Amino acid sequence: MSTPTSTQTQAIAQVEQWLASARGGQMELPQLMDAATKLQGAGLAAAAALLYQNWVANTPSPFRHVGCFNWGAILGDMGRHAEAEHAYRMALTMAPDFAQARLNLGHQVEHQGRTEEALALWRSVYDTPEAASLGAEPVPLLLHALNNAARLLEQLKRYDESEALMRRSLLLSPRQGDVAQHYVHIRQKQCAWPVYDTFGDVTHNHLLMSTSLLGMLDESDDPALQLLTAQRFVHEKVAKVTTPPLHQGHKRDGKIKIGYLSGDLCMHAVGLLTAELYELHDREKFEVHAFCWSREDGTPLRARIKGALDSLTPIGAMGDRQAAGLIAAAGIDVLVDLQGLTSGARPNILAHRPAPIQVSYLGLPATSALPGVDWILADRFVMPPEALPYHTEKPIYLPNCYQVSDRQRVANAAPTRAEAGLPEDGFVFCAFNNNHKMSEPVWRCWMRILRQVPGSVLWLLADNPFAKANLTRVAGEEGITPERLVFAPRALPADYLARFQLADLFLDTFPYNAGTTASDCLWMGTPILTRSGRTYISRMAGSLLTAVGLPDLITTTIREYEQRAVQIGNQPARAASYKRYLAEHGRSSPLFDIPATVRDIEREFERLALDARHKA
């Protein structure tokens, strides 16, 4: 047990005196707040909450609602959400128009899973006649209510309602970068084009400069824009660590220790791709560890990943500096970041440099611009020489393909076309990428392809009704009737894999190519037509096609892409020949020689780790 600091010792000594004063009903609010602040600063939040509880119960003050509010705030920060709810409700009983208490109460009921109640509380702030009388500075309160309701509605996939609230928020305060970022991405999720739809004082430039890196990967094949977007995120969000790297001073000898850093080691694209990687590592030379904040989803995949590791350390409850210190103390030689700047990422861990070699892999197929990440696993197709100036990381080139995958994935028996809602005759194009990857130029190209291949259909993932409605509407503009679009619901992995067998040709998205989906498609023996551009992410499927032995399915312009798709669609025998090739040679190709890929990765990690040990 750690020794109390002098600040804690002083606070502890005064706790009983403060509590006695609060119980006596003689403590003034400023004195109460000062004492509670000191207790919180000393790490004694529970004592601060108890102090407020006693003061509220015993003090006949006209400011008791303020005491209740502060009490609720402390309880909420401690994760005691039901008690915090009680405190905020007391505050509102005393002061029904106390908007700040209503806002915070919304958060507490949301934490308890009562989403509709949370939305109603925030709506009572932004959508009632009383909203205009919130005080001298109503705008921050309105923005708080609008933005949190929009956030929750987005999580609930009520995208139309969420977008409407974001618009209201941006009309009130147009320069909110975070809100503009979500506004752009929610339009991408709905296939609401143009994505950069301006209004009020919200300019195209502001939307562009607010776009998240994920959103920019969907929107632009310009490597400079992707780099600038990553750099902006790092500048705004990532800690500027000036202390020495944490890995210094930690002894490293014996087996090389590889650490995987991720919140996606579960039923997620990263978990699906990497399960066999952990299993195949050479335990004679390497120890394999994970530092993880993944959800415990109860899936066999999660259990399999955990079983394949020498150790898995949960760091979800740790601060970034604490987690980095733990990684450094473990003597990790090579830390592999599987997250990048994607949702849930923890880049500040990497900023502390807990390992001498820090490598980006899979989670972000682009530059992260993180100062703590020096390397990225790649191949010479996804990262050709002309791409190097747009990456802050140096490439670790694998000889065949950058992507590992899992040879143990199992598909169920294929359904019939009728069971899948497909016509018995006619060419079946499919495109199972997430809806947010679908850009307007590619979608209109697909509709032109359907026009030129009589009787063909396009089989799609039905992610949300708003995207479906927008895609169907634009299809109509291109002369394509709704029955030629077949929307499939999401399915369990084995059923999803089975679907590929019914399709004749997979049409890839651009500039955000298929990654895990492309691997699944080729594993199941279905050819994929891609367009490769200038960025890592727009060259992923091309890398897989090169490694599997089908480079003629790689195009470089939208015109070439359209022509190739039409040629194949009107020559079903050609699609069948690709399927025969994949059935006979696909799984034995370098793309799916996962043991060789793992050895290639290990050889590079060993070289870098031993060099770092030599220099230490």
Describe the strand order of the beta sheet including 505-507 as a list of residue ranges: 485-488, 457-461, 428-431, 505-507, 528-531, 554-555
Residue 462, C-beta contacts closer than 8 angstroms, at least 6 positions apart: 468, 487, 488, 489, 490
Q: Which of 397, 418, 447 is the last residue of a domain?
A: 397
Per-residue pLDDT tens over the stretch 267-278: 999 999 999 999
Domain of 389, CATH number, reads 3.40.50.11380
465 and 519 both lie in a single domain: yes
pLDDT in tens, 81-107: 999 999 999 999 999 999 999 999 999
- 145 φ, ψ (degrees, to nearest 5): -65, -45
Inside any domain, residue 153: no
List, for residues 552-600, the tens digit of each pLDDT value: 999 999 999 999 999 999 999 999 999 999 999 999 999 999 999 999 9
Question: Do 475 and 351 have their domain in common?
Answer: no
68: in domain: no
Mean pLDDT of the 52-73 span: 94
pLDDT at 96: 93
Q: Is the pLDDT of residue 46 over 70?
A: yes
Which of 351, 377, 397 marks a domain boundary? 397
598 falls within a domain: no
Whether 478 and 567 map to the same domain: the answer is yes
What is the average per-residue pLDDT within 53-62? 93
Q: Which domain holds residue 329?
A: 256-397
Q: Which of 350, 381, 397 is the last residue of a domain?
A: 397
| Same domain membership, residue 329 and residue 271 | yes
* 276 part of a folded domain: yes
In a domain, 453, yes or no: yes
The total number of structural domains that make up the chain = 2
Residue 478 · residue 458 · CB < 8 Å: no
Q: Which CATH number fits the domain that encloses residue 560?
A: 3.40.50.2000
Q: Are 438 and 392 within one domain?
A: no
Cβ–Cβ under 8 Å, residues 518 and 543: no
Question: Domain check: are 366 and 478 in the same one?
Answer: no
In-domain check, residue 318: yes
Rounded to the nearest integer, the mean pLDDT of the chain is: 95
Alpha carbon of 406 to those of 10, 301, 331, 497: distances in Å? 58, 11, 28, 13
Distance CA 223, CA 246 (A): 32
pLDDT above 60: residue 3? no
pLDDT score of 128: 73
In this structure, are 579 and 452 located in the same domain?
yes
CB 475 within 8 A of CB 496: no
Same domain membership, residue 535 and residue 448: yes
Residue 370 backbone phi and psi in degrees, to 5: -75, 130
Query: Which 8-state DSSP code applies to residue 199?
Result: B
The pLDDT of residue 5: 58
Residue 15 lies in a domain: no
Confidence of residue 130 (pLDDT cuts 50, 70, 90): low
Per-residue pLDDT at 219 exceeds 90: yes
Residue 6 is predicted with a pLDDT of 58
Residue range 407-436, pLDDT digits in tens:
999 999 999 999 999 999 999 999 999 999
Is 511 found in the same domain as 383? Answer: no
Identify the residue with better confidence: 156 or 252: 156
Asked whether the beta carbons of 501 and 413 are under 8 A apart, the reply is: no
Q: Are residues 563 and 446 in the same domain?
A: yes
Which residue type sits at 127? D
34-38, 472-476, 518-522: least confidently modelled range: 34-38
Q: How confident is the model at residue 134, as a pLDDT?
A: 56
Three-class SS state of 259: strand
The lowest-confidence range among 38-52, 463-477, 495-509 is: 38-52
Task: Kindly state whether residue 586 falls inside one of the protein's structural domains.
Answer: yes
Q: Is the pLDDT of residue 132 over 80?
A: no
- The HSE-up count of residue 136 (CA atoms within 13 Å, CB side) is 0
User: What percent of the chain lies above the pLDDT cut of 90?
Assistant: 90
**Pair 579, 442 in one domain:** yes
Are 393 and 435 part of one and the same domain? no
Give residue 468's pLDDT.
97
pTM of the complete model beyond 0.85: yes
Q: Please give the pLDDT value at position 1.
A: 44
Share of the chain above pLDDT 70, in %: 97
